[in-house]
Amino acid sequence: MWDVSAERSDVEYPTPWLTAEEMRAWRGYMDGNQRLMSVLNRDLQEMHGLSLADYRILVLLSESEDGSLRMSGLADGILSSRSRLTHQVRRMEAEGMVARDTCVEDGRGVRAVLTPEGRRRLAEAAPTHVAGVRANLINLLTKSQLKMLAEVFERVEKAVVDR
């Protein structure tokens, strides 16, 4: 393991370096998360022509009361920049999965609206996504590990949400 503090004993670092156990956890999370997201994305792409980001947008829209969300709220929900989301929604709109409309509340904002085609594509892709999540995460863990995983990331979310 690379340890810069061993090379530069004359420099004091304000944050202590990760221990071997901490580094194992951090790298395991980074590598595992990246590989998991890649597999889930590939499955959706190959079987349904959707990216994981497309799928997430369709899910969030389907879970809203009226099948629509303000673009700003949708960007927050998928953890994306507004400009990236705008590009993605334009592409999804061209494929007939979503439509854009002005907000009734103030007439200035823009809402993304789930179309019947978007609902159809989501319904087709959902079993593939759930099977991938189960096979590559859920079924690998015990109930107590799943509970701990949820608690860990609820804590992480709470700590970084306002940064």
**Predicted local confidence at residue 83, as pLDDT:** 80
- Average pLDDT score over residue span 53-59: 96
pLDDT-derived band at 38 (thresholds 50, 70, 90) equals very high
Range from 4-13, 17-26, 30-39, 56-65 carrying the lowest mean pLDDT:
4-13
* DSSP reduced 3-state for 13: coil
Percentage of the residues of the chain whose pLDDT score is greater than 90: 71
Provide the whole-model pTM.
0.84
CA angle, 91 then 96 then 100, to 5°: 70
Residue 5 has pLDDT above 70, yes or no: no
Q: Per-residue pLDDT for 47 more than 80?
A: yes
* Closest CA relative to residue 48, chosen from 114, 122, 98: 122
77-127 pLDDT, tens digit per residue, is 887 777 888 899 999 999 999 999 887 666 668 899 999 999 999 999 999
pLDDT tens digits, one per residue of 149-159? 999 999 999 99
